[in-house]
Structure 1
């Protein structure tokens, strides 16, 4: 029986329910990452005994599952665009914005699918965007491909933000600090492709980088959708 199917115990002197427990856990994770979340710390925030929480949640993994499902509600658009490409674009960008608000989500995306109501609704929205445009296997591979791009790009962006917080150096500060070393290495002539990228490439912000890569992935999906059957 999943955590969503298991009934909650009756209320006691300090009122608890899964909604309050999950809200407290999400707040802790937003403040300090997943390492800041434990049943003991959640109970302390709610001013309840740790054992009380086991009546609602059996394991820390169940708590994480509930947290992921809670923030998945932020990904769902109020209305889904009729155009498949715009629908996937909206879902991808909403996933990015949700992950930037809850950086810990990047650590939990890409594993087993979320089986809560919000997680299932998000999966439905991804699949519904392509429903009827190709056979179901093509639709599944297309959604997996776009999802894999989003997860990889978001984990890289979140890793950069964490490095900035850990070192106190912005991306530009880090580039300036490491500039002399990079310059000396490129001067050896051993890295011609990298040298061209450093000297001639355009530096763009994370949002532009994400949007550009997403459009290229959607171009690849479009090519598969329009390809005639063999």
Structure 2
């Protein structure tokens, strides 16, 4: 029986009462502080001041714990609005916001379908907003938005982690590698790339995300209009 359907053990009068919600919240706190490497049933048990074996009545494996963690933060993703475009936009921007609040989520987005109640509710809200559009368009359209969001979020989180690891922010990185690019462009071998670097738009992360999202949504709208 999947964890979503498996009942919790009955309450016991012990010094440290447990529930799946308490376990998951403790795991999220560990992951928010130190990433997914900090999450194990033993470490979560330590954070709750209980023995690891007590957790197995509630969660059988680490994979179940990760699924529960993802579903818990999906409660913070709210695809609301008037019309499919506004709802898909809200899905994208709120997913990005939540992933920046919980960086570890970027490592778990995509892959096998998430089947928790909050994840299912989010998907249902999106599909309901696209009622009236044929499913041959809806399914790949939602997949395209998710693919864009997941890829963009992973790139942003990877860049953030790289900045922390190197100790260089964007301005410092440009100062360090700028002279190399100047010497490279001076060879004349990369004129298109040079034009992009010198004359192209220099958008911040928020502008880049919104612009890319508009491209995806514009394509979906054009497809629906056909």
Inter-partner Cα distance in structure 2 for 1:6 and 1:188: 65
User: What are the residue-to-residue correspondences of 1:55-134 with 2, within 5 Å?
Assistant: 55-77=57-79, 80-133=80-133
Inter-partner Cα distance in structure 1 for 2:174 and 2:166: 13
The aligned residue for residue 214 of structure 1 is: 213
Inter-partner Cα distance in structure 1 for 2:206 and 2:136: 30
Whether the 8 Å CA contact 2:78–2:90 is kept in 1: the answer is no
Whether the 8 Å CA contact 1:43–1:50 is kept in 2: the answer is yes
Q: CA deviation at 1:194?
A: 1.3
1:154-208 Cα shifts (integer Å, max 9, x gaps): 1111111111111111111111111112222222222222111111112111111
The aligned residue for residue 203 of structure 1 is: 202
Residues 1:9 and 2:17 are matched in the alignment: no
1:125-181 Cα shifts (integer Å, max 9, x gaps): 222221212x11210010000110011111111111111111111111111111112
Whether the 8 Å CA contact 2:24–2:68 is kept in 1: the answer is yes
User: What are the residue-to-residue correspondences of 1:131-142 with 2, within 5 Å?
Assistant: 131-133=131-133, 135-142=134-141
Runs of at least 5 residues in structure 2 that lack an aligned partner in the other structure = none
The aligned residue for residue 223 of structure 1 is: 222
Q: CA deviation at 1:41?
A: 0.7
Task: State the secondary structure of the residue aligned to 1:94.
Answer: helix
Runs of at least 5 residues in structure 1 that lack an aligned partner in the other structure = none
Task: State the secondary structure of the residue aligned to 1:104.
Answer: helix
Divergent runs of 4+, >4 A: none
Inter-partner Cα distance in structure 2 for 1:48 and 1:132: 52
Inter-partner Cα distance in structure 2 for 1:98 and 1:220: 25
Q: CA deviation at 1:10?
A: 2.5
Task: State the secondary structure of the residue aligned to 1:138.
Answer: helix
Inter-partner Cα distance in structure 2 for 1:177 and 1:128: 50
Whether the 8 Å CA contact 2:84–2:126 is kept in 1: the answer is no
TM-score by length of 1: 0.94
Q: CA deviation at 1:11?
A: 3.0
Whether the 8 Å CA contact 1:113–1:119 is kept in 2: the answer is no
The aligned residue for residue 47 of structure 1 is: 49
User: What are the residue-to-residue correspondences of 1:147-158 with 2, within 5 Å?
Assistant: 147-158=146-157
Inter-partner Cα distance in structure 1 for 2:89 and 2:184: 39
1:91-145 Cα shifts (integer Å, max 9, x gaps): 1111111111001111111111211110001111222221212x11210010000
- Greater displacement, 117-126 / 178-187: 178-187
